[in-house]
Copies of this chain bind each other. A is one copy, B any other.
């Protein structure tokens, strides 16, 4: 079905049919109606290749990731995909798998495919080299920050997330808050630790154990570090963990040590990795990064850039606290009624 078929059925020229369907004002109402009718009857969909050839726009954006399989890519991708759908755009996906040859190859491929813009999805939220000079269309960086401040980066708000967790624990009257998290070389780990300390400091509190415990992002490390922390500071009554896996291990270790979660020690995770957080014993209070929204915000800004409204700099998108049982609402006062 081509526009020519529609035009013929409607008894007009191809150019008139085009204008009618594209809402140009110079078409007579009756004509427009006839053309629309014909188009509907033939289930006509304009060929996007032909349109793209003329307009130079393909209504397609390229999403370049470094590690699709990682924990953070998927939710962002979902958000992007969904937001693009609302704009009648599609996403072409390329996973460079951390390999710079692949990355350059994909950039060339996507540019050759005439994508209207790029979203570059980082695998960690550390700084990464800008790729913008290789790309002739607008680019938005998501999750991982571009090293070039002239680029636009949409990031998760690590400090804000840590603050949410810290304030939640303090509101529960916890006074001895420890921190078990990932490697110190991750900016996310450092930023969250700093924010936690700041909030504690503002409340006149010190970090339980004196220093954050930096290790792996694993359950194993959570188990191990929980032992260390309880030994170092037996009064600890709350632990803020760098991710949900660590928190899971912490809960397990605390339980094995005879400490009740949350009555004796409240535990907060990070990431809200559903399958883990909800299935933990007890289910984890945690910080959701709102990664889908991150993807949606990226699309929003990319669309603006395509319309000529470019933004630069860093946008930190807030997370949210998800309260589950690992931080009980009434500390040290387990209600028999509730438990029954």
Q: Quick one: given A48-B114, A60-B92, A81-B94, are A279 and B220 in contact (CB under 8 Å)?
A: yes
Q: Give bound CA distance, A273 to B60, whole Å.
A: 32
Interface status of A275 (Cβ within 8 A of chain B): yes
B94 x A218 contact (CB < 8 A):
no
Query: Contacts A78-B69, A81-B68, A90-B92: A113 and B53 contacting too (C-beta < 8 A)?
Result: no
* Chain B residues with CB under 8 A of A45: 108, 111-112
A58 within 8 A of B: yes
Which residues of A pack against B, CB within 8 Å?
45-50, 52-53, 58, 60, 68-69, 71, 74-75, 77-78, 81-82, 85, 88, 90-95, 102, 106, 108-114, 218-220, 223, 245, 252, 275-276, 279-281
The closest CB in chain B to the CB of A56 belongs to B49
The complex places the Cα of A114 from the Cα of B53 at a distance, in Å, of: 14
| Neighbouring B residues of A275 by C-beta, 8 Å | 71, 245
A-B contact pairs, 8 of them (CB 8 A): A48-B113, A68-B77, A68-B81, A90-B92, A219-B279, A219-B280, A220-B279, A276-B276
Q: Which residues of B are found within 8 Å of A95, using beta-carbon distances?
A: 78, 81-82
- Among residues of B, the one whose C-beta sits closest to the C-beta of A275 is B245
Q: Give the number of copies in the complex.
A: 2
> Could you tell me the distance in whole angstroms from the C-beta of A329 to the nearest C-beta in chain B?
22
Q: Are B90 and A91 in contact (CB under 8 A)?
A: no
Instruction: State in angstroms the CA–CA spacing of A102 and B78 once bound together.
Output: 14
Determine the chain B residues whose CB is within 8 A of the CB of A91 once the complex forms.
Answer: 92-93
Min CB gap A137→B, angstroms: 14
Give the 3 A-B residue pairs with the shortest CB-CB distance, closest first: A45-B112, A219-B279, A49-B53
Contact of A47 among B108, B114, B220, B280 (CB under 8 A): B114
CB contact between A113 and one of B68, B71, B90, B109 (< 8 Å): that residue: B90
List B contacts of A75 (CB < 8 A): 69
Q: Is B81 in contact with A90, judged by CB distance below 8 angstroms?
A: no
The residue in chain B whose Cβ has the minimal distance to the Cβ of A216 is B279
- Would B81 and A74 count as touching, CB distance under 8 A? no
A78 to chain B, nearest CB (A): 6
Q: What residues of B have a CB within 8 angstroms of the CB of A47 in the complex?
A: 53, 112, 114
A71: min CB distance to chain B, Å = 7
CB contacts (< 8 Å) of A90 on chain B: these are 92-94, 109-110, 113
Separation in Å of the A112 CB from the closest CB of chain B?
4
- In the complex, what residues of B have CB within 8 A of residue A92's CB? 60, 90-93
A291 to B75, CA, bound (A): 20
